């Protein structure tokens, strides 16, 4: 269903930008797992607006409250409900949007689908919805620390517009990425990327780019043949994030420039006694199942749709041509805050498949 992710570790998010709050209910979580609210809060803080000079100045405390499913700091196996109240919403900044569709936003399509929309702050299409995903992903991460020790998910900003970072997915550290406000893995590009984003803000424009993500130490055999391939689920997970337009795993589109002889990943026994591939154009997935190599993929985020210029659009009802100029507080570039939500969806995909694999095959 629309607002539920997963089959075994099921995550249902709810909430709008300017309603009573946003949150998530997690069903199917393994019992007896130590669960830290502080870790959940730290994950939300990474996603939170107002973290740096290149993100939106909207101030939200985004304090998470666990309402159920945890007893004496351990999961009980019953649904975990997490609530984050909305605080700093200024609906008046959106008054004009009540009657006009913002170009390349979801205003028109919500009306087309439901005949009606909560226009305050983008309603359900607001990126605040991802709070529920990030909170649930922190729970998933804490479960995987028990079920798959060593498994890690790390994402970084691969490119901002034409500025393309040089990053080694096998070695890049979380410290490097979190050590700069762009969250790129390439120290040499921190300043150019920051400058570009500031320039976009100062001109009322916006910019997009690519986030890259790696899953290290993923056990082989995750994912299922046919429809629920792990790369298929990752693709859906990423395209379910706001502002995404593309997904590629391993060699991706560039792989089509190779021949089969060049593209195939040879198998060799590793010094660890395990089967390995000598290169990884497969991106860690073959036939839809993980092969034990790092899972590596990229996600394209379009430039932010809200710009501070008048643009052609139409009114909501009745429809007539008009113009609309962006207002409100927005990120000129979503990428730094996209890093934690790309990681979040990845945690959710991985844990769901870990539990499914355990259920079917022990």
Instruction: CB nearer to a second copy: give 190 or 248.
Output: 248
Instruction: CB nearer to a second copy: give 59 or 319.
Output: 319
> Environment class of residue 337 by beta-carbon count within 10 Å: exposed (0-12), middle (13-18) or buried (19+)?
buried
Q: Calculate ∠ Cα 276-238-193, nearest 5°.
A: 90
**Cα–Cα separations (whole angstroms), residue 217 to 31, 136, 173, 291, 301:** 24, 21, 14, 10, 27
Interacting residues with a second copy between 59 and 78 (CB under 8 A): 65-69, 71, 74, 76-78
* Binds a second copy by CB under 8 A, chosen from 15, 49, 121, 328: 15
Instruction: CB nearer to a second copy: give 174 or 263.
Output: 263
Nearest approach in angstroms of CB 362 to a second copy is 7
Give the whole-angstrom CA distance, residue 12 versus residue 32. 21
Residues in binding contact with a second copy, number by CB under 8 A: 152
* Binds a second copy by CB under 8 A, chosen from 87, 90, 240, 325: 240
* Residue 88 binding a second copy, by CB under 8 A: no
* Residue 42 binding a second copy, by CB under 8 A: no
Left, alpha or beta for 353 (phi > 0: left; psi -120 to 50: alpha)?
Answer: alpha
* Residue 358 binding a second copy, by CB under 8 A: yes
**Cα–Cα separations (whole angstroms), residue 231 to 17, 59, 122, 223:** 30, 36, 30, 8
Give the whole-angstrom CA distance, residue 290 versus residue 296. 11
Nearest approach in angstroms of CB 328 to a second copy is 14
Which segment (54-62, 149-157, 169-177, 301-309) binds a second copy by CB under 8 A? 301-309
Which segment (34-42, 118-126, 168-176, 183-191) binds a second copy by CB under 8 A? 118-126
Pick from 29, 46, 61, 223: nearest CA to 142? 29
* Residue 282 binding a second copy, by CB under 8 A: yes
Answer whether 158's CB lies under 8 Å from 297's CB: no
Give the whole-angstrom CA distance, residue 56 versus residue 334. 9
Residues contacting 317, CB < 8 A, separation 6+: 111
Which segment (50-58, 166-174, 180-188, 263-271) binds a second copy by CB under 8 A? 263-271
Interacting residues with a second copy between 195 and 224 (CB under 8 A): 200, 205-210, 220-224
Give the whole-angstrom CA distance, residue 40 versus residue 48. 12
Instruction: CB nearer to a second copy: give 27 or 174.
Output: 27
Nearest approach in angstroms of CB 74 to a second copy is 7
């Amino acid at each position: 269903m629309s607002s539920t992710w997963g089959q075994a570790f099921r995550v249902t998010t709810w909430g709008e930008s300017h309603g009573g709050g946003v949150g998530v209910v997690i069903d199917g979580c393994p019992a007896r797992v130590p669960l830290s609210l502080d870790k959940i809060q730290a994950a939300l803080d990474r996603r939170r607006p107002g973290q740096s000079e290149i993100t939106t100045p909207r101030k939200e405390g985004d304090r998470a409250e666990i309402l159920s499913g945890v007893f004496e700091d351990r999961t009980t196996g019953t649904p975990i409900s997490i609530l984050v109240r909305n605080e700093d919403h200024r609906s008046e900044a959106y008054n004009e949007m009540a009657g006009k569709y913002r170009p390349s936003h979801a205003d028109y399509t919500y009306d087309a689908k439901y005949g009606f929309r909560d226009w305050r702050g983008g309603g359900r299409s607001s990126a605040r919805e991802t709070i529920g995903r990030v909170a649930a992903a922190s729970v998933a991460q804490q479960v995987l620390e028990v079920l798959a020790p060593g498994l890690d998910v790390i994402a970084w900003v691969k490119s901002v517009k034409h500025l393309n970072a040089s990053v080694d997915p096998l070695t890049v550290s979380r410290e490097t990425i979190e050590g700069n406000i762009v969250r790129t893995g390439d120290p040499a590009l921190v300043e150019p990327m920051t400058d570009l984003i500031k320039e976009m803000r100062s001109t009322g424009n916006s910019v997009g780019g690519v986030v890259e993500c790696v899953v290290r130490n993923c056990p082989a055999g995750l994912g299922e043949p046919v429809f629920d391939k792990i790369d298929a689920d990752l693709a859906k997970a990423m395209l379910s994030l706001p502002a995404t337009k593309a997904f590629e795993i391993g060699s991706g589109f560039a792989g089509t420039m190779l021949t089969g002889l060049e593209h195939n990943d040879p198998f060799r026994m590793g010094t660890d006694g395990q089967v390995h591939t000598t290169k990884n154009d497969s991106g860690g997935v073959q036939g839809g199942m993980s092969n034990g190599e790092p899972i590596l993929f990229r996600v394209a985020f379009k430039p932010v749709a809200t710009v501070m210029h008048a643009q052609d659009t139409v009114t909501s009802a009745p429809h007539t041509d008009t113009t609309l100029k962006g207002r409100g507080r927005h990120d000129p570039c979503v990428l730094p805050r996209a890093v934690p939500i790309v990681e979040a969806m990845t945690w959710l995909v991985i844990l769901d498949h870990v539990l499914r694999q355990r259920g079917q095959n022990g």
